[in-house]
Amino acid sequence: MIRQPDPKPDVMARRDSIVAGLRALLPETGLIAEPLRLKPYETDGLSAYRQVPLAVALPETTEQVAAVLRYCHRNGVRVVPRGAGTSLSGGALPMEDAVVVGMMRMNQVLDINYPDRCAVVQAGVTNIGITNAVSADGFFYAPDPSSQLACMIGGNVNMNSGGAHCLKYGVTANNLLGLKIVTINGEIIDIGGAHLDAAGYDWLGLLTGSEGMLAIVTEITVRILRSPEGARAMLAAFSSNEIAGGAVDAIISSGIIPVALEFMDRPAIHACEAFAHAGYPLDAEAMLIIEVEGSVEEQDRLLGQLSAICQKFDPISLKISQSPEESAAIWKGRKGAFGAVGRISPDYLCMDGTIPTSQLPLVLRRIQEMSDSYGLKVANIFHAGDGNLHPLIMFDANDEASFHAAEEFGADILRLCVEVGGCLTGEHGVGIEKRDLMPVQFHAHELQQQRRLKSAFDPDWLLNPSKVFPLLEPGAIELPQAA
Amino acid sequence: MTTEDSIVAAVAEAVRTREPLLVQGNGTKAGMLRPVQAARTLSTAGLSGVNLYAPKELIISAASGTPLPDIENALAAAGQHLIAEPPDLSDLLGATGKPQTLGGVVATNLSGPRRVAWGAMRDHVMGVRAVTGRAEIIRSGGRVLKNVTGLDLCKLFTGSHGTLGIITEITLKVLPAPEATGTLILQGLDAAAGVAALSAALGSPFGVSGAAWLPPEAAARVPGLGGIAGSATLIRIEEFAPSVIYRIGRLKDQFAAAGAVTLDTNASLAVWKDVRDARPLAVGPGDAVWRVSTRPSSGPSVLNALRPAGVVGFLDWGGGLAWLAGPADTATHAAVEAAARAAGGVWTLMLAPDSLRSIVRVVPDEPAALARITREVKAAMDPSGILNPGRLYAGL
């Protein structure tokens, strides 16, 4: 079980007065403290861990966020920011003595500006909500995490979320222009704006992916892009992971950067086909979904070239989508991968590491060996163009031994990612899940330097303090002040 | 010989003696921002060489002192390029006879015309090694394309002008260079009409990767625009050759403007290199140079507001980047600040005599709450204040 810092006794003792104090700062229904109504906030997308918080605040304006933080700062109360609660790394897991600040009521699109290709949205707007607001005019917001129907842009900013199309369009950090943030002492600060590349330090870049540890983000200025004329996908199936990996290398070497390049291994293919009936080849060991964009003629030309490249790797099958419906079916299987695995296993852990793409065959072989030795099945889905691996480890949460084995298996995979030159997390964040693995990737003094940066924003360590960094034993190392 | 260890030793010594260091590569951008008062200079120029280049993984790692042309040549040999198209401003800022370094373009986060579509230098820094003002080597990021492990110090170091640490190694994402480049030129539009056309082009489905507006006197300074009368509104497509022909054709139909002309790949490469390096800017002897970044539609208002002050310029990034040159005095600088502020944008003083750049705000002041965080972060990274003190802000 993941260790949490001890609750602050003085905060627990003052629970009722803290609830009353916060209630006075918020609209009538804006504070939740009844045990039954706190229950839905006890976990997030990493549902193996649960902790009911002290209270949940649901502000409707930036000023209310500021008032809540100012109160918490003055009273030494810890704060856990929360968007839709879809974090797969436990980024929004509450603490017993913490106030969860939920952003779901700040769900307005405030401004859309097509000449300047940007939109201003509140943190509680869903990822797909941004695209929905501009799609009738032919625009879209590019990062597309699999949870995009539910996840909120504020959470995307804090986790620097990616998606299947970031090989071409980049991750969240590459698609932001400005933020409105509230610091722990309740100050409201505008970072950036509608312009590119603000002078001074890159606060936008540092805050993106900071996992709620530096400030609460209330408004975001995002770049919106004009949609391409069209897009089309193809499927290429191969007889081994090595051969499919070779095809990925050959595609990148050809100078073609597909808008998406997804890799699925045999267990993933079978799980997704049973779920989505997308026509995936069940006799293949590995399969690529390749998508290109442009006019129909451009799509034809690129897909023809990609087919010719794949032909050199003795594909079991090649299938070029002939219609938007066929492309949608191809994607339905991939995007439904989590649900598909959920159908064949009572529970699963979705891991998220990145590796140099050249290491893919080795890494998949080692994962298979681990799967055999742990006695747990695994399905691998991989953003092949950028090396982001998502092994889905299947286990049974009702069996404690099975859960612990799955956790160990996952940790071994992430250690392997670091060992071959990669990293612990490509797009899900460290959260609580990978916190204690951070020393695998970073030296102690490097973590200490990152902690100092947190201290520069949050000297009392009140903002999401149990995430990202391994807990320090009391007295072992001083919690650093910034300087 | 310079090594990472010798840089650590030099920083440790500077901390001990409390003597500030001027941190630079080859010093080609020493004229930017505020002058640094330092007892000694610490150069990364001796740290040179590509340490890893994996074209199939779209990754290159090199020591920070590596001359940028060496990087560009290594990439070109494999058909790839630097995504952010960093400019070579050595002529503009005062040629030192030495090439700019990789560390220099990262520390200044300078990006060229492609920035409008494909991101800035900071968007493609996947990993850094740096020596902090604590004389410690720290790493952030790595050698993979997607990485959200811990706080993103790559972004913090990029554009920090050597004030938070001395970058020793940089890993960049790179991409295949386009097979062909084409340019559509609309002639004779005023700034507002030109930027409106650029907005329409950037808002088209055709993947425009360059969008600049040059007033007549700026266009006249670009040899590749010899036949153009009046202003030039430039729209670039970088793609496979058939796509360049198709997309330029569609854009030409869209604007159907009289006198629209197109440039082929070679002509396009020459023109956009000049735009990248700010050669359309007429810089008189002793002039100051500014870059102002605004929302694209406000670019024309910046140019128009400053013309009476004797400031000339041109627009890149679809109108969002104004390159400006004018008299190097406090009144003109104040006018640039006012014009940038009125447009909701920010300015950077790129070139000015020490007498001016040491007394003005070379970049905007931050609001008080953010300025406090800036001081705390600076203190966290460089507690003795020995790295390029005063470069960005007086007293920091």
**Domain range enclosing B245:** 180-276
The neighbour count for residue B249, using CB atoms within 10 Å, is 14
HSE-CB of B305 using CA atoms within 13 angstroms: 19
Q: Which of A41, A151, A32 is nearest to A86 (CA)?
A: A151
Closest Cα in chain B, distance from residue A367 (Å): 19
Beta carbons of B246 and A189 less than 8 Å apart = no
Beta carbons of B152 and A294 less than 8 Å apart = no
CATH number at residue B160: 3.30.465.10
CATH number at residue A357: 3.30.70.2740
The neighbour count for residue A344, using CB atoms within 10 Å, is 15
pLDDT of A450 higher than 70: yes
Map B121-140 to HEC letters: HHHHEEEEEEEECCCCEEEE
Q: For residue A215, which residues of chain B lie inside 8 Å, CB to CB?
A: none
A480 band by pLDDT with thresholds 50, 70 and 90: low
- Tell me the average pLDDT of chain A: 94
Same domain as A315, residue A329: yes
Q: Which of B106, B70, B74, B68 is nearest to B88 (CA)?
A: B68
Beta carbons of B132 and A441 less than 8 Å apart = no
pLDDT of residue B290: 98
> Which residues does A233 contact at the CB level (< 8 Å), separation at least 6?
A260, A289, A290, A291, A321, A326, A327, A330, A331
Lay out the sheet containing B288-293: strands in order across: B261-263, B180-187, B232-239, B208-214, B312-316, B321-326, B288-293, B346-351
pLDDT of A482 higher than 60: no
Closest Cα in chain A, distance from residue B226 (Å): 30
Structure tokens given for A366: 């080692």
Q: Is residue B196 part of a domain?
A: yes
Closest Cα in chain B, distance from residue A277 (Å): 30
H helices, E strands: number in chain B: 15, 16
Same domain as B229, residue B302: no
Same domain as B200, residue B162: no
ipTM confidence: 0.98
Residue B212 CA from chain centroid, whole number: 15
pLDDT tens digit string along B26-47?
999 999 999 998 989 999 999 9
Q: Is residue B62 part of a domain?
A: yes
pLDDT tens digit string along A394-408?
999 899 999 999 999
CATH number at residue B254: 3.30.70.2190
B382 three-state secondary structure: coil
Same domain as B93, residue B59: yes
- Look at the alpha carbons of B100, B102, B106, B109 in this order and tell me if their dihedral is positive or negative: positive
Determine contact: B116 vs chain A, CB below 8 A: yes
Determine contact: B321 vs chain A, CB below 8 A: yes
From B218, B241, B276, the end of a domain falls on B276
Q: What is the DSSP letter of B317?
A: G
- Candidate from A294, A388, A468 with C-beta closest to B150: A468
What is the rounded distance in angstroms from the CA atom of residue A310 to the CA atom of residue A248?
9
From A362, A393, A419, the end of a domain falls on A419
pLDDT tens digit string along A47-92?
889 999 999 999 999 999 999 999 999 999 999 999 999 999 999 9
Same domain as A290, residue A186: no
Same domain as B10, residue B152: yes
Same domain as B296, residue B207: no
Pairing mode, strands A260-265 and A188-192: unpaired
Same domain as A289, residue A324: yes
Same domain as A137, residue A173: yes
Pairing mode, strands B232-239 and B180-187: antiparallel
Q: For residue B394, which residues of chain A lie inside 8 Å, CB to CB?
A: none
pLDDT of residue B96: 87
Q: Give me the residue label for tokens 């595609």.
A: A251
What is the rounded distance in angstroms from the CA atom of residue B160 to the CA atom of residue B138?
16
Same domain as A415, residue A352: yes
Same domain as B171, residue B318: no
Q: At what angle do helices B191-202 and B241-255 cross, to 10 degrees?
A: 130
Q: Is residue A395 part of a domain?
A: yes
A474 band by pLDDT with thresholds 50, 70 and 90: low
Q: Is residue A189 part of a domain?
A: yes
Q: Is residue A6 part of a domain?
A: no
CATH number at residue A180: 3.30.465.10
Determine contact: B21 vs chain A, CB below 8 A: no
Count of A-B CB contacts under 8 Å: 257
Same domain as A206, residue A288: no
Q: Is residue B368 part of a domain?
A: no
A120 band by pLDDT with thresholds 50, 70 and 90: very high
B258 band by pLDDT with thresholds 50, 70 and 90: low
> Which residues does B102 contact at the CB level (< 8 Å), separation at least 6?
B25, B62, B63, B64, B65, B66, B67, B68, B71, B170
pLDDT of A141 higher than 60: yes
Q: Is residue B200 part of a domain?
A: yes
- Candidate from B145, B205, B367 with C-beta closest to A386: B145
What is the rounded distance in angstroms from the CA atom of residue B37 to the CA atom of residue A376?
62
Q: Is residue A408 part of a domain?
A: yes
pLDDT of residue B191: 98
Q: Is residue B351 part of a domain?
A: yes
Same domain as A390, residue A375: yes
pLDDT of A475 higher than 50: no
pLDDT of residue A481: 55
pLDDT tens digit string along A212-225?
999 999 999 999 99
Mean pLDDT of A317-343: 89
Mean pLDDT of A161-173: 93
Same domain as B229, residue B294: no
- Candidate from A114, A200, A301 with C-beta closest to B374: A200
Beta carbons of A428 and B148 less than 8 Å apart = yes
From A173, A205, A226, the end of a domain falls on A226
The number of residues making up chain A comes to: 483
Number of domains in chain B: 3
> Which residues does B171 contact at the CB level (< 8 Å), separation at least 6?
B52, B59, B60, B61, B125, B126, B127, B128, B141, B142, B143
User: Please, are residues A111 and A200 in contact by the beta-carbon 8 Å criterion?
Assistant: no
> Which residues does A131 contact at the CB level (< 8 Å), separation at least 6?
A139, A140, A141
Q: For residue A208, which residues of chain B lie inside 8 Å, CB to CB?
A: 152, 155
What is the rounded distance in angstroms from the CA atom of residue B78 to the CA atom of residue B89?
25
User: Please, are residues B387 and B165 in contact by the beta-carbon 8 Å criterion?
Assistant: yes
From B176, B210, B238, the end of a domain falls on B176
Beta carbons of B142 and A200 less than 8 Å apart = no
User: Please, are residues A288 and A318 in contact by the beta-carbon 8 Å criterion?
Assistant: no
From A171, A205, A226, the end of a domain falls on A226
Q: Is residue A313 part of a domain?
A: yes
Q: Is residue B386 part of a domain?
A: no
- Tell me the average pLDDT of chain B: 97
pLDDT of residue B39: 87
What is the rounded distance in angstroms from the CA atom of residue A215 to the CA atom of residue A203?
11
pLDDT of A476 higher than 50: no
Q: For residue A434, which residues of chain B lie inside 8 Å, CB to CB?
A: 149
Beta carbons of B242 and A298 less than 8 Å apart = yes
Pairing mode, strands A347-350 and A317-320: unpaired
Q: Is residue A135 part of a domain?
A: yes
Beta carbons of B297 and A447 less than 8 Å apart = no
Give the rounded percent of residues in chain A with a pLDDT score beyond 70: 98
pLDDT tens digit string along A283-301?
999 999 999 999 999 999 9
pLDDT of residue A129: 98
Q: Is residue B73 part of a domain?
A: yes
B133 band by pLDDT with thresholds 50, 70 and 90: very high
Q: For residue B366, which residues of chain A lie inside 8 Å, CB to CB?
A: 200
Residue from A167, A195, A437, A457 whose CB has the most chain B CBs within 10 Å, to mutate = A195
Beta carbons of A423 and B147 less than 8 Å apart = yes
Beta carbons of A202 and B156 less than 8 Å apart = yes
Determine contact: B320 vs chain A, CB below 8 A: yes
Give the rounded percent of residues in chain B with a pLDDT score beyond 70: 99
pLDDT of residue A477: 44
From B252, B276, B300, the end of a domain falls on B276
Same domain as A239, residue A207: no
Q: Is residue A467 part of a domain?
A: no
Beta carbons of A386 and B120 less than 8 Å apart = no
User: Please, are residues A211 and A454 in contact by the beta-carbon 8 Å criterion?
Assistant: no
Beta carbons of B146 and A358 less than 8 Å apart = no
What is the rounded distance in angstroms from the CA atom of residue A303 to the CA atom of residue A311?
12
Beta carbons of B146 and A387 less than 8 Å apart = yes
Same domain as B231, residue B82: no
pLDDT tens digit string along B222-246?
999 998 989 999 999 999 999 999 9
CATH number at residue A308: 3.30.70.3450
Which residues 140-169 of B have a C-beta within 8 angstroms of A? 140, 142-156, 158-160, 164
Q: Is residue B378 part of a domain?
A: no
Determine contact: B171 vs chain A, CB below 8 A: no
pLDDT of residue A237: 97
Same domain as B141, residue B109: yes
pLDDT of A479 higher than 70: no
Cα A303-A307-A312 angle, rounded to 5 deg = 155
Q: Is residue A103 part of a domain?
A: no
Same domain as B220, residue B157: no
> Which residues does B253 contact at the CB level (< 8 Å), separation at least 6?
none
Same domain as B16, residue B145: yes
pLDDT of A483 higher than 80: no
Same domain as A189, residue A239: no
Same domain as B190, residue B158: no
User: Please, are residues A54 and A97 in contact by the beta-carbon 8 Å criterion?
Assistant: yes
Number of domains in chain A: 3
**Domain range enclosing A411:** 345-419
- Look at the alpha carbons of B342, B346, B352, B355 in this order and tell me if their dihedral is positive or negative: positive
Closest Cα in chain B, distance from residue A261 (Å): 13
Pairing mode, strands A388-395 and B261-263: unpaired
| Higher-confidence position of B122 and A163 | B122
Closest Cα in chain A, distance from residue B154 (Å): 9
Q: What is the DSSP letter of B308?
A: G
